[in-house]
Structures are given as structure tokens and as C-alpha cells.
Structure 1
Amino acid sequence: MSRAFVFPGQGAQTIGMGRALAEGWSAARAVFDEVDEALGEKLSTLIWEGELEELTLTRNAQPALMATSIAALRALEAEGFDLVGTADFLAGHSLGEYSALCAAQSLSLADTARLLRIRGEAMQEAVPVGLGAMAALLGLDFQAASEVAHEAAQGEVCQAANDNDPGQVVVSGHRGAVERAVEIAKARGAKRALMLPVSAPFHCALMQPAAARMAEALAAVVIRDPLVPVVANVSAEAVRDSSKVQDLLVAQVTGSVRWRESVLWMESAGVTEFWEVGAGKALSGMIRRIAREAVTKPVGTPADIEALKA
């Protein structure tokens, strides 16, 4: 049996996430302490006691979700689940790719926290509020959604941004173009097409200013070969060489998240079990729709870790 650890992206955040892990394992608590120190603020207080609206801000949600994932991983390791011995591949959805690289020790925890703070701010600032939008097209595959986006663009930006599973694709771009995509998708037979409550149009060409900032930020940190191969969002195949990581992370800012293809790649490489490390269970739902024979297991609470031990 081959196993992959997968790390969630934005949208999985909840107030209180990771607190029970920090209370149960000193190694998990140390993760939140180190992230607080790296950012020069008490992000952990916001995560555990703050307002969801503030936690959901991109600049906060990205490092917070990564910290929760790495805390869960440290708790898992404290119970004898060694990363190299337990996982054959790692992957993450959008910001989750940074969590995966941190888990693989390709990026240090402090650097990952600071990079995600920069990434969150850069993505938020790349497009004036209200100019961009994203929409979920349900019941259309990636090819059909790409055709809808192309037709809707009409000289503006509209791209298929997230290929989440066989029946869920997210498009991103200028608000007017995305609104046109919703109507075109409905006419093309989409089960549902709805605008998403996001603050910026992620993973499309409008994010180019953010990509430039991430290229600069990534050039300033040490990137090592990952201890476990990491399946990259934009290539949908495993990366083992540190020299490729920077370019893939920069391309990810404006490129499509090829999650469906990433899961299929891991399945073709023999993965039969996926452990979702961190907050929520959204990736597990997607994975079961992509690889129907796959087993998924959550790793986000002390109860989850006890269940794995049992």
C-alpha cells in the first residue's frame, strides 16, 4: 500500500483549529510559537480566540492553515508516524503546497510562515477590491469549463483556475467576465454555477504582480530537496529537486491548480490511501470523487490521531 499526505488550502479555516493539538503535544505547540515569532505577532491568539472574518483575510488564513497542518504533522510524528516511513508522496491545494514543502523540510517553518504572509498580502493587493471575482462551475469538467471561460473573456481575463474534481471547476478573472461565465455555464448544462465569496481572483493572469513579488521572496530563502516527493499544483507530478521548487511556486500564483490531475497522478503511482493533514475534510471529498477506490483519513484532531494509532 502506498500513502500520500495532502494539505488543505484556503477555505478550511475555523476559529479554534489546532488548539487541541497544541494542548495535547508540546511539538505541536512549538509550531504555533515558532510561527508567532516568525511573523512578529500572536497569530495563534487570532486562530484560537479571534473573529472568523479576520482569520479569513488572505494574509492571516494562509500562514494559519499551514501552521495547523504542520502542528498536526508534529503530533503525528510524536506518536511514531515518521514522515519518510509513512508517506510516499505529499501534495497540497494552492497554499497547501507550501505546507507540503515545509513538511518535507524543503522550506523551514519560519520561512514558510513569512512567505505565506507575503503571498497572502501580494495576492490581495494585486487586484483592486471589486475588480476581480471567482465562480464555481458544478457539473462541468475542466475542458468544458475552460471553453466557458474562453467564451466569457471577451477581451478580459477569465481562466479555469482550480480543477478540483471531475464535476467542480473554479473560474477566475475580471468580475464582468466571471459573471458572464456563470450564465454561459448554466446554458451549457452546469448543475450549478455560483459566484464565490472571495476577496481576489486567485490563480489567473491578474495575479501577475503577486507572482513577481513571490519570485523575489522565494529567491531570498533556502530551498532544499524535499525528504518526500511533493506533487506540484501546476505540473501535476512529483518534484524531488529543490532547483525546480521556486519556479513552480511562482507559476502557481497565476496558473491553474491541477488538483484532479495531481490525485490521478498519485493514484497511477500506486497511492491507495490519502491522509488529509490539517483543518477540514474538503480535500478528502474531492479525492473520493476523483479516485473512487481510494481510502481517505483525516489528521486534524487528537481523536483523528488516536484513530490512526488504533
Structure 2
Amino acid sequence: MTKTAWVFPGQGSQAIGMGLDLLELPSAQRHFEQAQEILGWDILEICQSQEDKLSRTLYTQPCLYVVESILADVLLDRGNTPNLLAGHSLGEYVALYAARVFDFEAGLRLVKRRAELMDSASDGMMAALIGFDRAQLEQQIQQTPNVVLANDNSPAQVVISGTPEAVKDVLAKIKVKRAVPLNVSGAFHSPLMAEAANEFQEVLESVPFADAQVPVLSNVEPVPTVEAAALKNRLQLQMTGSVRWQEITMQLPVEGIERVVEIGPGKVLTGLIKRMCPDLVLENVGSVADLPAE
């Protein structure tokens, strides 16, 4: 039996029109209706909005959670079972849902509040860096207040987060092949999100977590666990903590994983994994057409 990990992408992987093909699945219709009751707006309407509402954090995160959860459910219903789970930032919530740590509704309520808090964050900036000297970058971050390494995605691709002044200061002092400011409202995955994280903690504490049915690698601590309390604590730290995706990726072969399936729109995570672990078999399930036969 091939040891398989499922990974779930986060914000930035969304695509206009995603999820529309899922309507042909009876189970998906129930989830879309349930989501509308909880959110007060229609996932599919946002996913095909010509005004690109989908790129706004408030909408992006719930839409990704719902679409990825439906795909995961169909795979599970058709007898596919992972040996390990992980998700990038928002994707960690889908990983926890797939591990049955909480049910669909509880997860969506958490994601809804997380999206509201992150969408209302301000005075922050994030920038993706491609092609840089890591030692030089880490030294500048260390010497510059109010900026951190927010997403350590791979040796060649990271995201820094902080006040606009601090981020621009770091970029001015390092050699980088490409720096792309991200279209986000705040300095996500940095200490500047502390106030939002404190508000979110109240909601998180009210949601019961069960032990995971499959081990989960968390963003802030890339060590597999099934323990409910540990998974909840890691999720609480996630809003201000760094996304350690490079470490998650390198942990996969250590855990004996031979195959990775990225569940959700796009191929961002499999692209990153391919460069770091070229021997792993990589697959993508982003639509009904990608699902295995019943």
C-alpha cells in the first residue's frame, strides 16, 4: 500500500469559477446550502463574481474551505484514505476537517471568523520573494523591527510580513530576483496579528476538538500528531506564527510518504514539493474531472 499524504492549499490558490462543477454531486449541494446559512452569502455566486470578490480575504477563505472540504469528502466516500494530512495556512483547517477533528459546520464557523478578523486587519504588508540569499535575508530581518519571515515555502520562495515601512526597508537592502507585494489587508502570520489572534482565541476555545483520525502536520510545528489539545493549540498560534511549509515538505519522506495529493484549486503546493522532494509521486484533485471513479 502506497503511503499517501493529502495537502490542502490556502489563500492565493483560489480561481474564478472554482467549485461550479461540484454542483453535479448531491453531497456538494448540501454543503453549499449549509454554507449559505452560516455565511449569509452564496459561495458559488462569489466564485463566479466578475468583480473578483473571490480575491478578498473575507470571501477567499470560506470559499476555499468549502470547495476543498467537498473534494476531500468525495475522496473519502470513494474509499481513498490518507496516511498523513497537512494544509498551507487556511488549508490546515481543511486538513483538520478531513481528519475529523471537527465537523464541516464547526470548521466553517471558525474559518468565517478568521476571515473576518484577517480581512479587517490593517497597517500591514506582505511580499513574496523569489531568488535571494537566505543568509542575507535572515540577517536583515533580524536587524529590522516589525518584519518577519511569514511563509517559508521553499529554499527559493518565501513571504515576508510586517509594517509597510519595515518590509520596504528589508527589500531595499537585499538582492532579490523578484519581489511581489501580495494583495492582502494585513501582515498575516506575524506578531502584528496578535490582537486578531486574541479575539479568535475566544471562538476557538468554544469549539470542541476530537483527536484526529489521521496524523496532521501543523504550520507552526511540522511534527505529526493526532492529539486534539495539541492541534487546537497549534491552530491558535498559526495566525501570528510562520507557515513552515519547507519543513512540512521535508518531513513527508521522513514519515515514509511516497505519494502526495494536493486537493483544491491550482498546483502551488505540488509545485513546491516537486522541487524539494523530486522522488515523490504528485497528483492534483481540483475538480470533479480529477476525482477517481466510484
Q: 2:10 corresponds to which residue?
A: 9
Q: 2:209 corresponds to which residue?
A: 223
Which residue identity lines up with residue 160 of structure 1 in the other structure?
L
In 2, are the aligned partners of 1:73 and 1:103 still within 8 Å (CA)?
yes
Q: What is the distance in 2 between the residues matched to 1:142 and 1:53?
A: 35
Structure 2: any 5+ residue segments left out of the alignment?
Answer: none
Matched, 1:177 2:178: no
Which residue identity lines up with residue 13 of structure 2 in the other structure?
A
Cα distance, 1:88–1:141 mapped onto 2, change above 3 Å: farther
In 2, are the aligned partners of 1:166 and 1:289 still within 8 Å (CA)?
no
Q: Which range moved further: 133-142 or 12-21?
A: 133-142
Matched, 1:243 2:229: yes
Q: What is the distance in 2 between the residues matched to 1:122 and 1:143?
A: 33
Q: Secondary structure at the match of 2:259?
A: strand
Q: 2:82 corresponds to which residue?
A: 87
Q: 2:36 corresponds to which residue?
A: 36
List per-residue Cα deviations over 1:48-69 (Å, max 9, x = no partner).
x323531211111111101010
Q: Secondary structure at the match of 1:298?
A: strand
List per-residue Cα deviations over 1:29-59 (Å, max 9, x = no partner).
2222222222233233222x32353121111
Q: In proportion to residue count, which structure has more helix?
A: 1
| TM-score relative to the length of structure 2 | 0.94
Q: 1:150 corresponds to which residue?
A: 142
Q: What is the distance in 2 between the residues matched to 1:288 and 1:15?
A: 25
In 1, are the aligned partners of 2:16 and 2:52 still within 8 Å (CA)?
no
Q: 1:213 corresponds to which residue?
A: 199
Q: What is the distance in 2 between the residues matched to 1:90 and 1:62?
A: 19
Matched, 1:302 2:275: no
Q: 1:135 corresponds to which residue?
A: 127
Identity of aligned residues (%): 37
Q: What is the distance in 2 between the residues matched to 1:184 and 1:60?
A: 35
List per-residue Cα deviations over 1:99-134 (Å, max 9, x = no partner).
1101111021111111111111112223x3xx2111
Q: Secondary structure at the match of 2:258?
A: strand
Deviation at 1:192, TM superposition (A): 2.0
Q: Secondary structure at the match of 1:114?
A: helix
Q: What is the distance in 2 between the residues matched to 1:143 and 1:35?
A: 45
Structure 1 runs of 4+ aligned residues shifted over 6 Å read none
List per-residue Cα deviations over 1:212-249 (Å, max 9, x = no partner).
01211100111111111110000011121001122111
In 1, are the aligned partners of 2:120 and 2:185 still within 8 Å (CA)?
no
Q: What is the distance in 2 between the residues matched to 1:157 and 1:237?
A: 28
What is the number of equivalent residue pairs in this alignment?
Answer: 293
Structure 1: any 5+ residue segments left out of the alignment?
Answer: none
